[in-house]
Amino acid sequence: EERLKESGGGLVQPGGSLRLSCGVSGFSFSSYWMHWVRQVPGKGLEWVANIKEDASETNYVASVKGRFTISRDNVQSLLYLQMDSVRAEDTAVYYCVKEVRYAFDSWGQGTLVTVSS
């Protein structure tokens, strides 16, 4: 069974930093593109970033470009999202997601990030 588990969420002040982690099991992590998707509680889904299997390519939604960094450790099967210069509008549940065949077929349970003073 494929499992993805996010950690690292919590309360952070505006302008601060936070690093999210996602540990996976049940599939060959290094063989898949991985993504972060976020959801403001009670609102819709928003794609945040993705990273190629070998980390040679990354992409970001415009609103986080230059502030967030996605990375991965294929030896330890870990996905990361470094969040810098956070803003109130970054408050959301952040999901770690596996992509296959142009779709997101496995999701973690999410970790809540709250940006507030």
Partner 1 sequence: SYELTQPPSVSVSPGQTARISCSGHKLGDKFACWYQQKPGQSPLLVIYQDNRRPSGIPERFSGSNSGTTATLTISGTQTGDEADYYCQAWDNNTWVFGGGTKLTVL
Give contact residues for partner 1 (rule: CB under 8 A): 35, 44-47, 50, 59, 61-62, 95, 101-105, 107-110
Q: Which is nearer to partner 1, 80 or 95 (CB)?
A: 95
Minimum Å gap between C-beta 87 and partner 1 is: 19
Close Cβ partners of 98 (under 8 Å, ≥ 6 residues apart):
2, 4, 24, 27, 32, 33, 34, 35, 104, 105, 106, 107
Q: Which is nearer to partner 1, 42 or 75 (CB)?
A: 42
Minimum Å gap between C-beta 15 and partner 1 is: 26
Task: Tell the residue number behind the tokens 């992509």, with chain if given.
Answer: 99
Close Cβ partners of 24 (under 8 Å, ≥ 6 residues apart):
2, 3, 4, 5, 77, 78, 79, 96, 98
Q: Which is nearer to partner 1, 6 or 90 (CB)?
A: 6
Minimum Å gap between C-beta 30 and partner 1 is: 21
Per DSSP, what are the bridge partners of residue 79?
22, 72
Q: Which is nearer to partner 1, 61 or 78 (CB)?
A: 61
